[in-house]
């Protein structure tokens, strides 16, 4: 067949070469028929049995997660368990069977269609990702109902254990992803998704090339087609010529050798050639992530996303973690880091990370009741977490990071809650760090534009670039139709970053970046040249970022940084950035 190229959204780095393995979803176009009154309860039981079976399957997958599996996978599978347990999925279709006499498949699809239509009316990336979750859970139930469960991962004409596989799908659920763990898969290609889809997050954690948001790749690519993923460029080459295949194999070999060398840098300090030390920190989701982060060479944890503790659940009953459970989790991470700092972000739940419990049932847009807004609306929940964090601070260096603050009263109320937690612990005779540092996550433009009220009252700032870019540019990050407008080099973003680092320097407080920009090697020189001295990222990205820093002279970048910050022309900014990247020898990278 003739070779052709597809363009999508690059969400990880590297090159993958292999055969296409098409992951066919259960068709949502199912049989529609009415059942008689005498058959209604039997049909209800058939759907209930399918839901129970899927629940057991998800539990089994969660229980069988290997030690080295990305922690994000377990959290995402937990979300699918919660969705499956939600009355909108577990009960509403049963009512449809009883009232309309629909067969089980028809009732489930009708409910999913109605939910999907509601999501389509909301232009928000977090909610869009939840729509994909709901559809993936429904497809899993449909596979059981139609007798096709267990066949999704099989293919004809390919030896899965001997050939490198590139998974091609409309979308890939976390549970399906785990079923590939014993197979030699080397990349992912999906029609849907964006920078924050499950496929994107897991592929970055695994260090596997992936391109998402490709539209109709799963219809254009045939089973067993040879594919090349250039995930730096966001390109998939279908049926490449022998010459192109050999060129990419050579580039792949160079990249693999270079990455192997990076493993020797674990204990090397990240110091530029002109003697400026940059602190490289790790982002973690669960306490067991701390030890691997330390092993990867992290100088500490720059972002412990505590909400994943609240989302962990392997059963139907999902309860909020107690103070003691949170304390043990935080203490585990703190002790694992052996004295290195651990920054714990307080509960950042909202539309992207719902707490689906009886008492705390929230599913709001990114502009709704989430993060610190939610915590201040639930003071007892917030106080319990603060007590747990403070108690853990007795076992090592701990910082408290408050997300999504934009108002002065949010700062004051948060600090007051921390003082209340300290007072309670003192009264109870429990140890904690009385001078624990408290900082704000700067991820709302309003916060970046009102920094004086932050630096006067807080000890440090941490920039969440993902949300800062989304809110500043009004871009739905998960919508591939507008994903090309998501631009971390937009002049407005660069101006905001410069304002934040300047405010921190003047106030004498540290400023870190813990969003996606911190782990993007294209931007390392720009960020450090602007003045950022702390970068926090997934642990897998630490070695190549460290290598970039070791090959950098900051004093040689200043003129170029000033030129970028003065420019409002996209082409000029990118051209200058390219010049910065060529000033000193760097590790071979792909473009």
Degrees to nearest 5, angle at CA 243 with 239 and 249: 85
- Whether residues 137 and 177 share a domain: the answer is no
Return the pLDDT at 485: 82
Question: How many domains is the chain partitioned into structurally?
Answer: 3
Return the pLDDT at 64: 74
Identify the domain boundary among 97, 122, 145: 145
Say whether 514 is catalytic: yes
- Whether residues 63 and 181 share a domain: the answer is no
Select which of 198, 318, 480, 490 is catalytic: 198
Helices in 429-523 by DSSP H: which ranges? 445-448, 452-455, 465-473, 491-507
- Helix/strand/coil for 162: coil
Residue 591 lies in a domain: no
What residues contact 420, with CB distance under 8 A and at least 6 apart? Answer: 383
Return the CATH number at 471: 3.20.20.60
Degrees to nearest 5, angle at CA 420 with 416 and 426: 140
Buried b (16+ CB within 10 A) or exposed e, 252-284: beebeeebeebeebeeeebebeeeeebbbbbbb
Residue 460 lies in a domain: yes
Residue of 401, 411, 393 lying closest to 463 (CA atoms): 401
- Residues 350/364, Cβ–Cβ less than 8 Å: yes
Q: Quick: pLDDT tens for 62-98.
A: 777 766 666 666 777 877 888 888 888 889 999 999 9
Which domain does 163 fall in, by range? 4-24+152-243
- Whether residues 239 and 278 share a domain: the answer is no
* Pairing relationship of beta strands 226-230 and 15-23 according to DSSP bridges: antiparallel
- Whether residues 372 and 503 share a domain: the answer is yes
Return the pLDDT at 117: 73
Residue 589 lies in a domain: no
Rounded-to-integer distance, Cα 330 and Cα 325, Å = 9
Return the pLDDT at 25: 59
Q: Quick: pLDDT tens for 380-427.
A: 999 999 999 999 999 999 999 999 999 999 999 999 999 999 999 999
* Pairing relationship of beta strands 534-538 and 4-7 according to DSSP bridges: unpaired
Kindly give the interhelix angle for 92-100 and 40-63, rounded to the nearest 10 degrees: 160
- Helix/strand/coil for 270: coil
- Helix/strand/coil for 534: strand
Return the pLDDT at 148: 64
- Whether residues 195 and 307 share a domain: the answer is no
Return the CATH number at 221: 3.50.30.10
Confidence band for 478, pLDDT divided at 50, 70 and 90 = low
> Which DSSP symbol is given to 277?
B
Bigger pLDDT: 85 vs 151: 85
Lowest mean pLDDT among 6-20, 206-220, 429-443, 473-487: 473-487
Backbone angles phi, psi at 518, to 5 degrees: -65, -30
Return the pLDDT at 57: 87
Residue of 17, 72, 61, 62 lying closest to 184 (CA atoms): 17
Return the pLDDT at 385: 97
Identify the domain boundary among 96, 120, 145: 145
The arithmetic mean of pLDDT across residues 244-261, rounded, is 88
> Which DSSP symbol is given to 38?
G
Backbone angles phi, psi at 235, to 5 degrees: -120, 140
Bigger pLDDT: 314 vs 580: 580
- Whether residues 168 and 135 share a domain: the answer is no
Residue 358 lies in a domain: yes
- Whether residues 133 and 185 share a domain: the answer is no
Rounded-to-integer distance, Cα 190 and Cα 208, Å = 14
pLDDT at 51 over 90: yes
- Whether residues 129 and 161 share a domain: the answer is no
Rounded-to-integer distance, Cα 514 and Cα 565, Å = 21
Q: Label residue 420 exposed, middle or buried (CB < 10 Å: 0-12, 13-18, 19+).
A: middle
- Whether residues 531 and 574 share a domain: the answer is yes
Helices in 207-346 by DSSP H: which ranges? 217-220, 242-262, 290-295, 307-311, 323-336
Lowest mean pLDDT among 215-219, 444-448, 533-537: 215-219
Residue 254 lies in a domain: no
Residue 170 lies in a domain: yes
Confidence band for 441, pLDDT divided at 50, 70 and 90 = very high
Rounded-to-integer distance, Cα 113 and Cα 86, Å = 16
Return the pLDDT at 63: 78
pLDDT at 193 over 60: yes
- Residues 249/578, Cβ–Cβ less than 8 Å: no
- Whether residues 67 and 215 share a domain: the answer is no
Rounded-to-integer distance, Cα 175 and Cα 467, Å = 27
Identify the domain boundary among 243, 261, 285: 243
Select which of 195, 480, 490, 514 is catalytic: 514
- Whether residues 435 and 515 share a domain: the answer is yes
- Whether residues 126 and 204 share a domain: the answer is no
Q: Give the mean pLDDT of the chain.
A: 85
Calculate what percentage of the chain has a pLDDT beyond 70.
83
Return the CATH number at 43: 1.10.274.10
Rounded-to-integer distance, Cα 447 and Cα 87, Å = 38
Residue 29 lies in a domain: no
Give the torsion through C-alpha atoms of 471, 474, 479, 482, to 10 deg: -140
What DSSP string describes 82-138? HHHHSHHHHTHHHHHHHHH-B-HHHHHHHHHHHHHHHHHT---HHHHHHHHHHHHHH
Say whether 375 is catalytic: no
Residue 389 lies in a domain: yes
- Residues 527/533, Cβ–Cβ less than 8 Å: no
- Residues 462/401, Cβ–Cβ less than 8 Å: yes
pLDDT at 355 over 70: no
**For the chain, how big is the Rg over CA atoms in Å?**
25
Q: Quick: pLDDT tens for 361-374.
A: 434 356 778 899 99
């Amino acid at each position: 067949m003739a070779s052709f190229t597809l363009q999508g959204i690059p969400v990880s780095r590297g090159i993958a070469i292999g055969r296409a393995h098409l992951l066919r979803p259960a068709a949502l176009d199912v049989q529609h028929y009415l059942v008689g009154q005498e058959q209604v309860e039997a049909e209800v039981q058939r759907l209930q049995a399918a839901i129970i079976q899927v629940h057991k399957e998800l539990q089994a997958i969660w229980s069988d997660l290997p030690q080295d599996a990305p922690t994000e996978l377990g959290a995402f599978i937990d979300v699918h368990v919660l969705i499956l347990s939600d009355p909108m999925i577990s009960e509403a279709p049963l009512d449809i069977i009883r009232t309309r006499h629909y067969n089980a498949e028809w009732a489930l699809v009708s409910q999913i269609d109605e939910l999907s239509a509601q999501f389509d009316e909301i232009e928000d990336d977090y909610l869009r990702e939840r729509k994909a979750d709901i559809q993936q859970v429904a497809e899993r139930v449909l596979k059981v109902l139609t007798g096709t469960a267990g066949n999704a991962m099989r293919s004809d004409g390919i030896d899965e254990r001997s050939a490198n596989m590139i998974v091609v799908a409309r979308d890939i659920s976390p549970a399906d992803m785990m079923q590939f763990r014993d197979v030699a898969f080397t990349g992912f290609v999906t029609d849907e998704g964006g920078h924050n889809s499950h496929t994107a997050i897991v592929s970055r954690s695994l260090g596997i090339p992936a391109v998402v948001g490709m539209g109709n790749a799963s219809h254009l690519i045939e089973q067993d087609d040879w594919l090349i993923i250039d995930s730096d460029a966001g390109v998939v080459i279908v049926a490449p010529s022998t010459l192109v295949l050999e060129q990419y194999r050579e580039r792949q070999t160079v990249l693999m050798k270079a990455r192997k060398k990076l493993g020797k840098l674990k204990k090397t300090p990240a110091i530029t050639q002109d003697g400026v030390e940059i602190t490289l920190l790790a982002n973690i989701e669960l306490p067991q992530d701390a030890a691997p982060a330390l092993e990867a060479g992290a100088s500490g944890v720059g972002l412990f996303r505590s909400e994943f503790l609240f989302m962990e659940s392997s059963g139907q009953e999902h309860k909020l973690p107690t103070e003691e459970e949170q304390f043990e989790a935080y203490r585990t991470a703190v002790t694992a880091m052996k004295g290195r700092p651990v920054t714990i972000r307080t509960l950042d739940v909202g539309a992207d990370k719902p707490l689906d419990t009886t008492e705390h049932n929230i599913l709001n847009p990114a502009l709704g009741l989430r993060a610190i807004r939610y915590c201040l609306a639930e003071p007892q929940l917030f106080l319990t977490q603060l007590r747990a964090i403070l108690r853990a601070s007795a076992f090592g260096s701990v910082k408290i990071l408050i997300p999504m603050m934009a108002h002065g009263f949010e700062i004051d109320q948060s600090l007051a809650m921390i003082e209340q937690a300290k007072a309670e612990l003192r009264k109870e005779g429990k140890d904690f760090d009385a001078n624990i540092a408290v900082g704000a996550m700067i991820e709302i433009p309003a916060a970046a534009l009102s920094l004086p009220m932050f630096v006067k009252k807080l000890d440090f700032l941490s920039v969440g670039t993902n949300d800062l870019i989304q809110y500043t540019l009004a871009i739905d990050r998960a919508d591939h139709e507008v994903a090309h407008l998501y631009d971390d080099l937009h002049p407005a973003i660069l101006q905001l970053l410069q304002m934040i680092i300047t405010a921190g320097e003047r106030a004498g407080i540290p400023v870190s970046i813990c969003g996606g920009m911190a782990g993007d090697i294209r931007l390392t020189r720009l960020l450090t040249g602007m003045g950022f001295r702390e970068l926090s990222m997934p642990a897998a990205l630490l070695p190549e970022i460290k290598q970039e820093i070791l090959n950098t002279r900051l004093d040689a970048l200043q003129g170029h940084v000033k030129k970028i910050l003065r420019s409002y022309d996209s082409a000029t900014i990118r051209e200058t950035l390219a010049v910065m990247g060529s000033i000193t020898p760097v590790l071979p990278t792909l473009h």
